[in-house]
Amino acid sequence: SGTSQDECLIPYGRKYEKAWLINVIQNLCSVPFTPVELHYANNRVVFYVEDASAANALKQVSRKIVAPDGYKLCMSKRYDGSQQALDLKNLHTDPDLVAQNIDMVLSRRSCMLAVLRIIQENIPELLSLNLSDNKLYRLDDMAELPQKAPNLKILNLSSNQLKTDRDLDRLKDLKLEELWLDGNLLCDSFPPTTLPPTKGSYFGSEDLKALILRFLQQYYTVYDSGDRQGLLDAYHDGACCSLSIPFSLHNHSRSTLAEYFKNSRNVKKLKDPTMRFRLLKHTKLNVVAFLSELPKTQHDINSFIVDVCAQTNTLLSFTVNGVFKEVDGKCRDSVRAFTRVFIVVPAGNNGLCIVNDQLFIRKATNKEIRKAFVMPAPTPSSSPVPTLTAEQQEMLQNFSLQSGMNLEWSQKCLLDNDWNYAHAAQVFTQLKVSALVPF
């Protein structure tokens, strides 16, 4: 007739009813058209249109037609029935869809609605849905997800193109337990919530480091000795000391920290000013008497992290974090974590004197427990280590005789000083002058 015609090809169209195909295409096409000479050619469907505007409109709907059987087959392969989980990650690159020339782009409304319909009709009990890496830039087309999969608990939207948290409004009716959003631009709107890695101790100078470490070594040698009366000379006459543990809603009598509860001065919980004052220990006699009542301990010196907070010519404040274990009582060998803030002033013989001592004790984390005492410091034992050489045994006997200390603490002093007899004797003399020597 001389009228020009444009050919339309539908790959793999033979699998579908002609009427269904034409109806779907007509619904998507902005211009009404009449197919001419509709027929099959191998696996393809072929027809012609004589209207140029209709031909152009048909080009616009190319690759937007949803073929439910192809989608359903692909999704069935990605469904884990044991976990009730559907993994549609990076769906547009699925080999089965690519092989059939099916363009599955979930950012297109028709594709997303097809997926939701298949979920509703076949797996409404779905618990987990992975839509990561699908170039989703909005979630408007997922508005019906709460109705299609009412039991959904886990939704992974990672590595998409969501820009603001307003995009999530469409999901507010879901009863989600996990929502994965990493790799989306909207994550940049929120500051990081992870703590930075621990950087270790901070002393300010090597001289200060040597001074503080010597003080801590001397202090905890006595503190862990079993007799804390030797700490009297470590405290100022007007010193103050307090202990606190974390506030817990649970029964304190059943808590593993129950031993410390009666002395806890946690001001977040304790509002009575009279009790606050009573639980603050004043004067060094009361401080040491209080410390002597606490469970006997062994501190892991290797776990200590020390941070200097403030320093002047007449005052020094530093914090010690670390772990210890109780060595007697019903909680024997229980590992605790502690934070201790010391405020000290200069004392004679280049030493330090405590004016304020704040001790915070909590349950150790699993990680802290695993790392605790992996490099155990020498501790008192009922007898010398049997693997000592004859020379070391003789040195130990002489050191105990000359120092007046028992064999256990004599051995500890020698071990701490790498069996250098002269250096161990010098350290012993310094400790004895400071009244920090256990016997």
- Please compute the mean of the pLDDT values over residues 209-233 and round it to a whole number: 92
Tell me the average pLDDT of the chain.
Answer: 84
DSSP letter for each residue of 264-332: B--TTT---HHHHHHTSEESHHHHHHHHHHSPPEEE-GGG-EEEEEEE-SS-EEEEEEEEEEE-SSTTT
Same domain, 397 and 434: yes
| Residue that terminates a domain, selected from 23, 40, 60 | 60
Same domain, 438 and 418: yes
Segments forming the whole domain that contains residue 360? 206-377
Same domain, 402 and 372: no
In a domain, 103, yes or no: yes
Residues near 255 by beta carbon (within 8 Å), at least 6 away in sequence: 248, 261
* Threshold 0.85, pTM exceeds: no
Instruction: List the beta bridge partners of residue 87.
Output: 130
| Least confident residue range of 93-97, 109-113, 318-322, 427-431 | 427-431
In a domain, 201, yes or no: no
Same domain, 247 and 309: yes
Secondary structure, 3-state, 134-155: CCCCCCHHHCCHHHHCCCCCEE
In a domain, 196, yes or no: no
Write down the pLDDT at residue 89: 95
Which CATH number covers residue 433?
1.10.8.10
pLDDT tens, position by position, 151-198: 999 999 999 999 998 889 989 999 999 999 999 999 888 887 788 787
Cβ atoms of 424 and 414 closer than 8 Å: yes
| Residue that terminates a domain, selected from 15, 42, 60 | 60
Secondary structure, 3-state, 325-354: EECCCCCCCCEEEEEEEEEEEEECCCEEEE
pLDDT at 286 over 50: yes
In a domain, 130, yes or no: yes
pLDDT tens, position by position, 384-431: 334 677 788 778 877 877 777 777 778 888 888 888 888 888 888 777
pLDDT at 138 over 80: yes
Same domain, 370 and 387: no
Same domain, 345 and 312: yes
| Least confident residue range of 95-109, 211-225, 243-257 | 243-257
In a domain, 166, yes or no: yes
**Which tokens sit at 128?**
């987990």
In a domain, 80, yes or no: yes
Same domain, 262 and 358: yes
Same domain, 82 and 154: yes
pLDDT tens, position by position, 17-70: 677 678 778 888 888 888 888 888 887 889 988 888 888 888 888 766 655 566
Write down the pLDDT at residue 378: 45
Which CATH number covers residue 139?
3.80.10.10
* Geometric angle at alpha carbon 143, from 63 and 127, rounded to 5°: 95
Which CATH number covers residue 368?
3.10.450.50
* Geometric angle at alpha carbon 230, from 226 and 236, rounded to 5°: 135
| Residue that terminates a domain, selected from 40, 60, 80 | 60
Write down the pLDDT at residue 248: 64
Same domain, 331 and 237: yes
Same domain, 288 and 275: yes
Same domain, 373 and 387: no
Write down the pLDDT at residue 76: 82
Write down the pLDDT at residue 385: 39
Which CATH number covers residue 11?
3.30.70.330
In a domain, 308, yes or no: yes
In a domain, 200, yes or no: no
Cβ atoms of 26 and 58 closer than 8 Å: no
Same domain, 303 and 247: yes
Number of domains in the chain: 4
Label residue 382 by pLDDT band (50, 70, 90).
very low
